[in-house]
Structure 1
Amino acid sequence: MNIKLKSFFYLPVFVLVSCASKQDLNVVEYDVRKLKTESETIKSQTAGSFADVQQVRDDILRLQGGLEEVSHKSSEIARSNDKTFRRLSAEDSLLVSQYGDIVTRLEKIEQYLGLGKEATQSPERLSGQKDSVTVKTASGTLTDAALLNGGLEKLKQNNYGAARESFSTLLRTFPKSELASDAQFFIAESYFSEKWYEKAILEYQVVISKYTKSSKRPAALFKQARSFEMIGDAINSKSRYTDLVNVYPKSPEAGLAKKKLR
């Protein structure tokens, strides 16, 4: 009897314990589900963070590539500017520095030759006095092209004084002509052909310093260098060849100058 009572007494306890265990189990299951949800959220956030980090890395790589490209372009610009500065320096020497040295040298040579102040007069007066050539032209009837062509014909015939007179007339009558630089160049050529190299040097210098955009300028530089070479002035000759290569590197005369500098 006592045993039955005891069993009956413990029955509610078992029921309560069983109910408590189910409730705890439900709580645990809820916690597990919550943990799983949070874990998935964390994984998703982690994946997003990794993608953000990778994006930042890609951006850094692109930035580095851009910086390298900028650095490369800057180096190219610096090299280009250096070449430009060297060319401008050479250009300056053509117009200023060496011209003073050339004139000084020519003045001494001309004094030695007994030309004195006559040597500083205009090329047309020099040609008339030296060669005693008088060329009559009907003023206003000849064009600049006719004067140039006439001078070239006389130059081919080795009639240097008459050729210079035609070229000088062109310079006097048509000072702004596009053919003026050609006329000045061929005046220098006439002296070179006569082997009067000192005078040729001075006349070539007029082309170099006055007609800076002339197509004859590279040739004037080369022939001036040749004139220096012919009178034994190796220093000025080499300097002019170098100037030619620096200022007009793609000209045919520059190729000839490079051979001279070897």
Structure 2
Amino acid sequence: MTRPLPLLFGLGLIAGCALKGDVRRVELQVEALRVERARADSQHAAQLDTVRALLAAVQDRIAAQQAYLVQLRGDMKTDLLAVQQQLVSVQELTGQSQQRLTELRGRLEEQARQPVPALDTTRAGPGVPVGPSGNPAGPGPDQMYDLAYQQYRASRYSTARLGFREFMRVFPTNERAPDALYFIGESFAGENPDSAAAVYQQVVKTYPNSSRAPSALYKLGLLAEQRGDKAAARQYFS
């Protein structure tokens, strides 16, 4: 009757060891699952960070594009206004020229019908065209010069050059003709130095005794310095 006790005891020990082994395996599996879950969470968090960074970059790019479009729209509006202003100025000058053509055509038609009367031009300034009544025809030299100079001051250089050239064509001997030619050169200075230099040389050659001749020589010296031609610069400055 005593022999089954050791057997039972041994079976109990074996069962206890088996139970502990199962518990250990379960613990290891749980730990492995915990590690795997932590790794998955870490990868997921990294992916979320990447997505957030991409979204932030896209939003920044969209904001930059929107800012660029706003600026572009503003620049285009500014350029359009500038073009419209230049068109208005050209129309003003063209309107004055048209007025002169109309008056000249009327004079020719009148001359074709009757002899040309003696004209009293004593009250008109030198170089000012006069109509049959003896009064200046069209805008006077000061008005035409001032209109061109206003365009120059407003940086509408193409329109200013048109005005100054028309002034010199109509009033070639006027005392402000050297000024008109000089400012034509000035209008080229920032965009076409070669053209500016050619006009400055024309000022010196055509109006050597005018007050603009020294200024034109000085500007020629500056342009020569910019080209690296020191010898020419010294000649202009001397």
TM-score normalised by the chain length of structure 1: 0.42
Q: Which has the higher contact order (CA 8 A, sep 6+)?
A: 1
**Which has the larger helix fraction?**
1
